[in-house]
């Protein structure tokens, strides 16, 4: 009986701790700057929370208390707050990037604090692919983009029915030296967290003025939205 009483006491202490514990959580979200809307929410927030507050860089955004939703300032037309505490931003802009703070209260005390780092990235543009020839017959392939954040480049060589990847290069330009004994169709693929674009196939030759080919039997362009 004493053992059962001790177990019951420990259980009650644990329940009281969980009810009064202050939880902290952090997340990050990356979306396209062309997205129509983005929803911000944190795991662990009870769907029955009735006292929720959102802020952005010390600016009040929205508040939910006793089923009453209040949107502050510019967010009256640019945001929505749902009963489960999820915040939605409509047509987010680049200057909306940053840290959003969520606070959940119970009986006047803050029981959950969380932050979400929102980052808006421009999708990558179609790659510009060119090549040049050196006096010793080495071909240099150049792949550049005009737009995009945190861009990575990848060269793919198509030779007959096989293809091989030359790995990723970060930055605004990818330069690939090609020896005389390497042949095939070259494709430059660029991507970031929100998009991916495949450039036009190129079959370079230092014997003539080659251009991006139209009959290389390789899909000329592919765009894939990865997030947001």
Indicate whether 78 and 113 sit together in one domain.
yes
Residues recorded for the chain = 228
- In-domain check, residue 187: yes
Same domain, yes or no, for 102 and 198?
no
Give me the number of domains the chain comprises: 2
Calculate mean pLDDT across residues 39-63.
86
pTM summary value:
0.68
Question: Do 91 and 158 sit in the same domain of this protein?
Answer: no
Return the pLDDT at 169. 61
- pLDDT confidence of residue 185: 86
Pairing of strands 109-121, 23-32: parallel
pLDDT at residue 8 above 50? no
For residue 14, tell me if it sits in a domain. Answer: no
Q: How far apart are CA 146 and CA 31, in angstroms?
A: 19
Q: Is residue 12 part of a domain?
A: no
The single residue listed with the structure tokens 């009256």 is: 76
**Contact between 99 and 117 (Cβ < 8 Å):** yes
Q: Is 95 domain-assigned?
A: yes
- The whole-chain average pLDDT of the chain stands at 77
Q: Residue 218 pLDDT > 90, yes or no?
A: no
Last residue of a domain, one of 121, 149, 175: 121
- From 66, 101, 121, give the residue that closes a domain: 121
pLDDT of residue 92: 94
Q: Are residues 105 and 135 in the same domain?
A: no
Residue 89 has pLDDT above 80, yes or no: yes
Query: 147 and 78: one domain?
Result: no
By DSSP bridging, strand 37-40 and strand 128-133 are: unpaired
Q: Name 118's Cβ contacts closer than 8 Å, sequence gap at least 6.
A: 28, 29, 31, 38, 40, 89, 92, 96, 97, 98, 99, 100
- Residue 170 dihedral angles phi and psi, to the nearest 5°: -95, 150
Helix and strand numbers (H, E) in the chain are 2, 16
Q: What is the DSSP string of 78-128?
A: HEEE-TTS-EEEES--GGG-EEEEEEEEETTEEEEEEEEEEEEEPPPPPPE
Check whether 45 has a pLDDT greater than 70. yes
Q: Structural domain of residue 103, as residue ranges?
A: 23-121
Kindly report, residue by residue over 131-168, the tens digit of the pLDDT.
Answer: 888 777 678 888 889 999 988 888 888 875 555 566 55
Q: Which residue has the higher pLDDT, 19 or 126?
A: 126
Q: What percentage of the chain reaches a pLDDT higher than 90?
A: 34
């Amino acid at each position: 009986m004493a053992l059962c009483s001790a177990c019951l006491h420990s259980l009650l202490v644990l329940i009281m701790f969980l009810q009064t514990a202050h939880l902290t959580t952090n997340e990050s979200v990356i979306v396209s700057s062309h997205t129509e809307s983005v929803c911000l929410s944190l795991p662990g927030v009870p769907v029955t929370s009735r006292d929720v507050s959102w802020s952005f860089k010390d600016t009040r955004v929205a508040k939910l208390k006793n089923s009453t939703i209040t949107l502050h300032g510019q967010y009256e037309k640019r945001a929505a707050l749902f009963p489960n505490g999820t915040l939605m931003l409509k047509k987010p802009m680049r200057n909306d990037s940053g840290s959003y703070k969520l606070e959940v209260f119970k009986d006047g005390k803050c029981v959950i604090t969380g932050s979400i780092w929102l980052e808006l990235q421009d999708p990558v543009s179609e790659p510009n692919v060119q090549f040049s020839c050196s006096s010793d017959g080495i071909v240099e392939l150049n792949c550049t983009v005009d737009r995009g954040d945190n861009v990575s480049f990848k060269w793919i060589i198509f030779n007959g029915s096989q293809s091989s990847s030359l790995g990723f290069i970060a930055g605004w330009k990818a330069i690939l030296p090609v020896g005389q004994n390497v042949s095939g169709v070259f494709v430059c693929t660029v991507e970031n967290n929100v998009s991916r674009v495949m450039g036009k196939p190129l079959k370079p030759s230092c014997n003539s003025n080659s251009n991006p080919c139209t009959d290389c039997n390789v899909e000329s362009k592919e765009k894939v939205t990865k997030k947001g």
